[in-house]
Amino acid sequence: METKEAVTALAALAHETRLSIFRLLVQVGPEGIPVGQIGEEVKVAPATLSFHLKELSHAGLISSRQESRFIFYTVNFERMAAIMTFLTQNCCQGMPQECLTVAETPLSSCCDTNSKAKPKE
């Protein structure tokens, strides 16, 4: 991913409503969710929702498909992974395998694995 593409995607996510929509779609998974349900979940009027969905679509973060009379939206998980890779590709001095595993989250633990909080006794 090029820097310009990352900036476009991150700018699309840099709005509370769009970030809420994106997180909802991530939670729902690859099957997606109909537009009406998105509006209900994030409590956004249809015209406003349409604007935010367009912005996320233009950034390549989500896509839509029509089933019968419903339009479903889903996250572009490949694009999401590309953004995550872009943000972490130089982690640990260019050796992310040293500090990242597929199961590890949050990313903040990436470079300082010794700083994990110790349980209270």
Residue among 8, 18, 25 nearest 52 (CA):
18
Averaged pLDDT for residues 48-64: 96
Residue 120 lies in a domain: no
pLDDT value of position 52: 97
The alpha carbon of residue 76 and the mean position of all alpha carbons in its chain are separated, in whole angstroms, by 9
pLDDT value of position 115: 37
Give the 3-state secondary structure of residue 62.
Answer: strand
Q: Which token pair is 25?
A: 């779609």
pLDDT digits (tens, 9 = 90+) for 3-50: 999 999 999 999 999 999 999 999 999 999 999 999 999 999 999 999
Residue 58 lies in a domain: yes
pLDDT digits (tens, 9 = 90+) for 71-95: 999 999 999 989 988 887 777 766 6
Residue 26 lies in a domain: yes
Residue among 67, 70, 69, 42 nearest 56 (CA):
42
Where are any strands of DSSP class E within 17-94? 33-34, 62-67, 70-75
Q: Write the CATH number for 3.
A: 1.10.10.10
Range of the structural domain that residue 77 is part of: 1-115
Residue 121 lies in a domain: no
Q: How many domains does the chain have?
A: 1
pLDDT value of position 89: 77
